[in-house]
Chain A
Amino acid sequence: MLEIKNLHVELAEEDKAILKGVNLTVEAGKVHAIMGPNGSGKSTLAYVLSGRPGYEVMEGTATLDGTDLLALEPEERAAAGLFQAFQYPVEIPGVGNMTFLRTAVNAQRKARGQDEMSAADFLKEVRAKAKELKIDADMLKRPVNVGFSGGEKKRNEILQMAMLEPRMCILDETDSGLDVDAMKLVSDGVNALRDEGRGFLVITHYQRLLDHIKPDVVHILADGRIVKSGGPELALEVEHNGYADILAEVA
């Protein structure tokens, strides 16, 4: 479903190569995890796929169901079914969370040629999904992410994901800043969305998240390349021995 081939990416302003030939395929229904030391390019990979400005693709391709993602605007990538849960969700004063969610849902429906969701249907759905994530009415009314705790921000990301029902979900260090209970809540939210038509790319530093969201494949990203791929046991190996052994082994 998501196919990344030989992806080379530089930071536009610094002329600095971050990704140096990433190859990765995520099949529908599978959860792939990416682990790797700080600075290895994990977040860059997520941002390049979702279309954040500031990165320059030097070489390679990234497609979602055959569609060239890199040629699309961020909103077109979202409409094509891509979703990134951000490590640092942005606070947007003055834009109500509910207005934001409804605008996003309807913009995507419109882009796909579907009818807009009625206010009543939307409200019913958002309330049900918010409840599962323990997001109360007040959080829905407040401006997007403003005054939210770290955990609330992450839950709000998962709520957006649940409402938008993307084909391909990228979770960028969704576990960072979460306590044990919040991690469970967020993971349950993600697991509820797992189905055979949907792919996941879970970026994390720690194996702990992968106890909750069980991956099918684990990749190790180091210095802009995937240096090793394996089953869930690879994450355990990292947890026990760190990255040094793996990096030494592939060097």
Chain B
Amino acid sequence: MALPEIKQTATEARLATLSLPEGGWSEPARRAALARVQRVGLPDRRDEYWKFTRPDALVQPVAPQAAVLKSDESMVFDSFERLKIVFVDGVFDPQASDDLSLEGVSVERLAKIAEQDIHWARDLYGTLEERGQEPVARPLAALNTAFARDGVVIHVTGKPSRPISLIYRHEAEDSDPMLHHVVRVDPGAEATILENGPAGARFSAVMEIDVADTGTLHHIRAQGRDHERSAVTHIFARLGAESTFKSFTVTVNGHLTRNEAVIELTGDDAVAHIAGACVGDGDFHHDDTIFVTHDALNCESRQVFKKVLRNGAVGVFQGKILVKPDAQKTDGYQISQALMLDDDSQFLAKPELEIHADDVACSHGCTSGAIDERALYYLRSRGIPKARATDLLTLAFLAEAVEEIEDPALADDIVARLESWLIRRR
């Protein structure tokens, strides 16, 4: 079916600015991804899946300019021992990065391996993204598969002693990076991946994750600093039997962020926890779009999303749990909540459950509300000033999401960031 003309034109205009990297094992995958983009077209505001978030800034041919924040404040995770891989506006920075060798994991750069004739990543690159195009098309992810020139390709074979830390610096006001990561976790292996930094004026990131039976992956991401940035990110994860994937994202400020996560539980007894905490003030639009598919017995999934909004900030949550007919004993949980610190903010939510099995426990909740006046008065009556009491209650609201981070030191670092943001914004 032909695309509507307006969509066709917008898609062509965007594609005209990009060139597809040629050669090596990745080229067929890239060409197939390009064909997916051309078939469905890039999103526009008439698309149901983009009802709450206008994709214009993510689709327009040239990235909207974004001022670079000059800040002396240390970056999140700075105090942790980790394997650092630094990208500046999407370009790998070898000086700032560590040597990529670490026991229990192989870390390579997509740009280095993409031109090889053969690489294990070929089985995954674009594969999980393509699986994630049904039942809802995600053309911006396919666009990334086609055109991303770099990223990291991680094969976790053991239990590396340090987290693998992807750091995205932003230095040019018009940068428009795309990064595509592939992660494979072997049976019994376990690793933590950290991501942080504004990355660019406009950032597109895809992470395809394949967790084999009994493998474990922790993913902790911090999106912060530069206010004017826009970003679209996709996580595609496939989980084998008895495997675990836990992903947490904290988002502080940001003109436009759309974080999609597409999780498929394909082996029995797998566990997936996807959580997010975001705080927005004013020119802030944050969209969490999550799709969890249960396709095996006795799996557990949790979606925990908390948003603090003020001064006209907008929070969006589209979260779905799909339980396939044979996915008996599914334990699915989904909660999305917004704390509105004033009357001007908006929370737009579309929680969905689609259950085709008859022996499952799925629960979901979605609320928006203000600070609890009774709790506020209680704290103040003990001498805690109103602003501080409000901060405490706001952090308490976010706690359920932050508690999804298993490592208490990392969780503390995230809480400290959120707290300093609240104090700055009083």
**Residue A168 at the chain B interface, CB threshold 8 Å:** no
**Residue A104 at the chain B interface, CB threshold 8 Å:** yes
CA distance A137 to B68 in the complex (A): 47
Point out the residues of chain A lying under 8 angstroms from B396, CB to CB: 92-95, 143
The 7 A-B residue pairs with the shortest CB-CB distance, nearest first, are: A94-B396, A78-B383, A108-B383, A104-B382, A74-B380, A94-B399, A90-B378
Residue with the greatest number of chain B CB neighbours at <10 A, chosen from A86, A94, A103: A94
* Interface contact A95-B381, CB-CB below 8 Å: no
CA distance A179 to B98 in the complex (A): 64
Residue with the greatest number of chain A CB neighbours at <10 A, chosen from B377, B383, B384, B393: B383
Known: A94-B399, A95-B393. A73 touches B374 (CB 8 A): no
**Could you list 24 A-B pairs, sorted by A, with CB under 8 Å?**
A50-B381, A51-B377, A51-B380, A52-B377, A53-B373, A74-B377, A74-B380, A75-B381, A77-B381, A83-B381, A86-B378, A86-B381, A90-B378, A92-B372, A92-B396, A94-B396, A94-B399, A95-B379, A99-B392, A100-B384, A111-B383, A160-B382, A164-B382, A164-B383
0/1 per residue, B362-406, Cβ < 8 Å to A?
000000000011110111111111101100110111111000000
Contacting residue for B384 out of A51, A75, A90, CB 8 A: A75
Residues of A within 8 A of B (CB): 50-53, 73-75, 77-79, 83-84, 86, 89-90, 92-95, 99-100, 103-104, 107-108, 111, 143-144, 160, 164
A95 vs chain B, min Cβ distance (A): 5
* Interface contact B378-A75, CB-CB below 8 Å: no
Known: A90-B374, A94-B397, A107-B385. A75 touches B392 (CB 8 A): no
Closest chain B residue, CB of each to CB of A82: B381
Contacts beyond the supplied A92-B372, A94-B396: 13 A-B pairs with Cβ under 8 Å: A53-B377, A73-B380, A75-B383, A78-B383, A90-B377, A90-B378, A92-B375, A95-B393, A104-B383, A104-B384, A108-B383, A160-B382, A164-B382
* Interface contact B393-A78, CB-CB below 8 Å: no
Point out the residues of chain B lying under 8 angstroms from A53, CB to CB: 373, 377
CA distance A75 to B382 in the complex (A): 6
Point out the residues of chain A lying under 8 angstroms from B381, CB to CB: 50-52, 74-75, 77-78, 83-84, 86
Closest chain B residue, CB of each to CB of A145: B378
A116 vs chain B, min Cβ distance (A): 13
Point out the residues of chain A lying under 8 angstroms from B375, CB to CB: 90, 92
CA distance A107 to B389 in the complex (A): 10
Point out the residues of chain B lying under 8 angstroms from A104, CB to CB: 379, 382-384
Known: A75-B380, A164-B382. A103 touches B392 (CB 8 A): yes
A73 vs chain B, min Cβ distance (A): 7
* Interface contact A100-B399, CB-CB below 8 Å: no
CA distance A146 to B385 in the complex (A): 22
A170 vs chain B, min Cβ distance (A): 10
B391 vs chain A, min Cβ distance (A): 10
B412 vs chain A, min Cβ distance (A): 13
* Interface contact B383-A73, CB-CB below 8 Å: no
Closest chain B residue, CB of each to CB of A112: B383
CA distance A78 to B398 in the complex (A): 28
* Interface contact B386-A75, CB-CB below 8 Å: yes
B369 vs chain A, min Cβ distance (A): 13
* Interface contact A103-B384, CB-CB below 8 Å: yes
Known: A93-B396, A94-B400. A107 touches B383 (CB 8 A): yes
CA distance A75 to B387 in the complex (A): 11
Point out the residues of chain A lying under 8 angstroms from B373, CB to CB: 53
Point out the residues of chain B lying under 8 angstroms from A92, CB to CB: 372, 375, 378-379, 393, 396
* Interface contact B384-A107, CB-CB below 8 Å: yes
Point out the residues of chain A lying under 8 angstroms from B374, CB to CB: 90
CA distance A53 to B378 in the complex (A): 11
CA distance A18 to B415 in the complex (A): 44
Residue with the greatest number of chain A CB neighbours at <10 A, chosen from B380, B381, B396: B381
* Interface contact A107-B386, CB-CB below 8 Å: no
A41 vs chain B, min Cβ distance (A): 19
CA distance A84 to B392 in the complex (A): 21
CA distance A164 to B381 in the complex (A): 11
Point out the residues of chain B lying under 8 angstroms from A83, CB to CB: 381-382
B367 vs chain A, min Cβ distance (A): 13
Point out the residues of chain B lying under 8 angstroms from A100, CB to CB: 379, 382, 384, 392
Closest chain B residue, CB of each to CB of A143: B396
CA distance A143 to B399 in the complex (A): 11
* Interface contact B386-A73, CB-CB below 8 Å: yes
CA distance A112 to B104 in the complex (A): 56
0/1 per residue, B20-42, Cβ < 8 Å to A?
00000000000000000000000
Residue with the greatest number of chain B CB neighbours at <10 A, chosen from A52, A79, A103: A103
